[in-house]
Homo-oligomer: A and B are copies of this chain.
Amino acid sequence: MTLPSSIKKFAAVFSRLPSIGPRQALRLAFYLAESERAMLKDIREAAEELAAIKICPQCFFVYDGEGAICGICSNPSRAKDVVAVVEKATDLISLERTDGVKGRYFIIGDLKKTGVLEPEQKKRLAALKEYISRECAGQAEEIILAINPTAYGDLNAAMLKTELEPMTKKITRLGRGIPTGGEIEFADEETLKSALAGRQ
């Protein structure tokens, strides 16, 4: 049988989204067509607004509005010379919720397992170096490499450290240890070693 072309098209577009499969996309199309027609307008508007979002040329986080850089980068009460390097926007959000980063951020993008930067990531790193030259007189106070504490994360953090060490007084990574609420009994050996080494 031939499905209505508008159902097929909607399902095809939605099944291209990460983590949405073709069956789920088809069910969504029917759900919206049959009982939530009004949501289609919301989806259309949301997609339209999102298409107008800008990417900060300094930290690569998304932002709305008029300025040439994002709200975090343009906030005068944040230290210019402390930069937390993260892989993705959602990492930035998680860190920002803690209110613990007094400076700015820099999104490098999802790092590969090879420890080699992609062309776009090289461009971003160059932008960070240029930022430090311009805004911090070539020397940042601290760069926090907020990269996941996994084997691949360690590899990438080492690579970034080599790149950035000449441009900062201090270069750190996030502390490792037992997560709050966790139990010593169930912590793995590596985590326990880190927790002992980093005792507070």
Contacts and interface: CB of A to CB of B under 8 A. Distances in A.
Interface of A: 1-7, 9-10, 12-14, 16-20, 24, 26-34, 37, 39-53, 55, 62-64, 71-72, 88-90, 93, 96-97
Report the copy number of this chain in the oligomer. 2
A30 B64 contact: no
Given A28-B18, A48-B40, A53 B4 contact: yes
Contacts of A89: 30, 34
B47 A90 contact: no
B13 A52 contact: no
A6 B18 CA distance: 20
B46 A50 contact: no
A147 to B, nearest CB: 18
A31 to B, nearest CB: 6
A64 B5 contact: yes
Contact of A53 (B26, B33, B39): B33
Contact of A16 (B17, B24, B26, B39): B39
Counting chain B CB atoms within 10 Å of each CB, the highest count among A19, A31, A37, A50 belongs to A50
Contacts of A88: 30
Nearest to A64: B4
A190 B69 CA distance: 67
A123 to B, nearest CB: 14
A6 B64 CA distance: 7
Given A14-B43, A26-B90, 17 more contacts: A6-B46, A9-B49, A10-B47, A13-B46, A16-B42, A17-B31, A18-B27, A18-B28, A19-B27, A30-B89, A30-B90, A34-B55, A34-B62, A34-B89, A37-B51, A40-B48, A44-B47
